[in-house]
Amino acid sequence: MKTALITGASSGIGMELAKIHAAQGDSLVLVARNAQKLNELATELSGKHKIRVDVVAADLALENAARDVYNTVKQKNIQVDYLVNNAGFGDFNFLHETKWEKQAMMIDLNIRSLTHLTHLFLPEMVQRRSGKILNVASTAAFLPCPMMAVYGATKHYVLALSEAVANEVADKGITVTALCPGATTSGFQDAAEMRESGFMTNQKFATAQSVAAYAYKSMMRGKRVAIPGFINKLTAGIVRFTPRKMVTSIARKLVDRKK
């Protein structure tokens, strides 16, 4: 029996990935801030699939949270076979109009905690010569994101980190997958305060269930960069051959506030 540790497991893609792993008979370690939602999900999945589900309520934007999660897992003598770094959030506004505290929290959660958890669990995977890591990036990783500048930059980082580490451990029995979904139905848009964005009407949203199913299959196959949806794949390819200024202008038009 294998164990999947999933961050941001209380909703959206993280919750759906938890359900998929549970259906496959994997034990779970569910991590998020909302202990009540995690406990409700744990009760549901453990009862339905007769699996072990551990809950770790933690705010991964805090400096020592990743280390605390790791220590809790070690104290419980749990071996993590699948590490799913899903926790993250965005923000929608001009950079000069945002609150620095929120941008700093975004960087800490989207970049630092993801990197720290990977750094903590990876040595054990290398020692065992087995393990899989799924890092949730975004199609935003492929282009500059006006109105979401810091968010887009954090996802650039996640993609680059994932590809580099995947290369480093390719001969050690471990795979690293960067999931790059496009617009997905979840709580992300409300958290990013995007209700006034043209993005909300310019995009066709995928479901969290379909993205999670694609993510799971991609991780199990060891795919390095997983982009669900033909249009998303096409966009990621086209931007490589399009002048950067043009790409940025188009991205701005897509997300600009509704008139």
Please, what is the Cα angle at 120 between 116 and 126, to 5 degrees?
A: 130
Label residues 28-39 b or e (16+ Cβ within 10 Å = b): bbbbbbeeebbe
* Residue whose pair of structure tokens reads 């995977």 in the numeric block: 125
Domain of residue 174, CATH code: 3.40.50.720
Strand-pair category, 27-32 with 53-57: parallel
* pLDDT of 15: 98
Select from 106, 91, 215, 90 the least CA-distant residue to 162.
Answer: 215
What is the distance in angstroms between the CA of the first residue and the CA of the last residue of the chain? 53
* Residue whose pair of structure tokens reads 């500059």 in the numeric block: 144
* pLDDT of 158: 98
* pLDDT of 192: 44
Select from 158, 72, 78 the least CA-distant residue to 110.
Answer: 158
pLDDT at 157 over 60: yes
CA 44, CA 24: separation in Å to the nearest integer? 15
* pLDDT of 202: 54
Neighbours of 241 (CB within 10 A): 7
Q: Which of 151, 157, 214, 216 is catalytic?
A: 151
CA 254, CA 125: separation in Å to the nearest integer? 41
For residues 72 and 184, the model is more confident at 72
Q: At what angle do helices 208-221 and 12-23 cross, to 10 degrees?
A: 60
User: How many domains does the chain divide into?
Assistant: 1
Average pLDDT over residues 118-135: 98
Least confident of 122-131, 142-151, 248-257: 248-257
Select from 130, 125, 127, 122 the least CA-distant residue to 162.
Answer: 122
Q: Can you say whether residue 173 is alpha, beta or left, with left for phi > 0 and alpha for psi between -120 and 50 degrees? A: left
What one-letter code names the amino acid at 98?
A: T
* pLDDT of 240: 84
Query: Any catalytic annotation for residue 214?
Result: no
Compute φ and ψ for 174, nearest 5 degrees: -120, 145
* pLDDT of 250: 83
Tell me which residue range forms the domain holding 143: 3-255
pLDDT digits (tens, 9 = 90+) for 196-246: 555 555 557 899 999 999 999 999 999 999 999 998 999 888 888 888 888
Calculate the alpha carbon distances from 63 to 104, 106, 133, 156, 242 in Å.
11, 12, 22, 22, 39
Q: DSSP string of 138-159?
A: -GGGGS--TTSHHHHHHHHHHH
pLDDT digits (tens, 9 = 90+) for 48-86: 999 999 999 999 999 999 999 999 999 999 999 999 999
Mean pLDDT across the chain: 92
Average pLDDT over residues 142-156: 96
